[in-house]
């Protein structure tokens, strides 16, 4: 495991910028395959001399091995952050899909049954939340805006 610095050219203005990647290499037969594990981005600011210590610490965290020697606090914090990103499951869902999946799971736990009963439970729940929000808005006093016109909710 090592950190690779790459130079990329911007298409708009032709300027170059540096980005950093955590790369793992494995030998398969006579060939060495390199795989990018994590894009560290352009804001990676650890000095080049400490990259080896960082990758060693990341590997020890991933293999659940305690550090025998004292590690610099900055290296330890960065290693914990990167290892956490590597261990985080990537299931390929966006935020709305995760919300839908969580709603389905919670619906199945709250009202076990078929998919249709889960859908009905969710619909009734959303309708109740909507009615409660509407009552709260109706109970709020109407305030006069600075322009002098009254607003009705």
Do 72 and 50 contact (CB within 8 A), yes or no? yes
Q: Per-residue pLDDT tens, the chain, 153 aa: give them.
A: 999 999 988 888 888 989 999 999 999 999 999 999 999 988 888 899 999 999 999 999 988 888 888 888 899 999 999 998 888 776 777 778 877 888 788 878 877 778 787 778 778 888 888 888 888 777 777 665 565 555 555
E-state strands within 10-145: 16-28, 31-41
The pLDDT, as a whole number, for residue 142 is: 64
The pLDDT, as a whole number, for residue 30 is: 93
pTM of the model: 0.57
The pLDDT, as a whole number, for residue 153 is: 52
CB atoms within 10 A of CB 58: 23
User: Could you state, in order of their start, the residue ranges of all structural domains in the chain?
Assistant: 2-87, 95-139
The pLDDT, as a whole number, for residue 27 is: 93
């Amino acid at each position: 495991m090592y950190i690779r610095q790459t130079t990329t050219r911007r298409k708009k203005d032709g300027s170059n910028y540096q980005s950093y990647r955590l790369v793992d290499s494995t030998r398969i037969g006579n060939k060495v395959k390199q795989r990018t594990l994590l894009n560290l981005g352009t804001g990676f600011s650890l000095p080049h001399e400490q990259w080896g210590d960082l990758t060693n610490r990341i590997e020890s965290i991933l293999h659940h091995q305690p550090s025998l020697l004292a590690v610099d606090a900055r290296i330890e914090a960065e290693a914990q952050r990167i290892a956490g990103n590597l261990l985080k499951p990537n299931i390929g869902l966006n935020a709305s899909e995760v919300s839908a999946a969580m709603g389905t799971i919670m619906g199945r736990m709250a009202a076990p049954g078929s998919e249709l009963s889960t859908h009905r439970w969710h619909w009734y729940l959303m309708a109740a939340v909507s009615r409660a929000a509407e009552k709260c808005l109706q109970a709020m006093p109407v305030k006069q805006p600075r322009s002098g016109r009254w607003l009705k909710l």
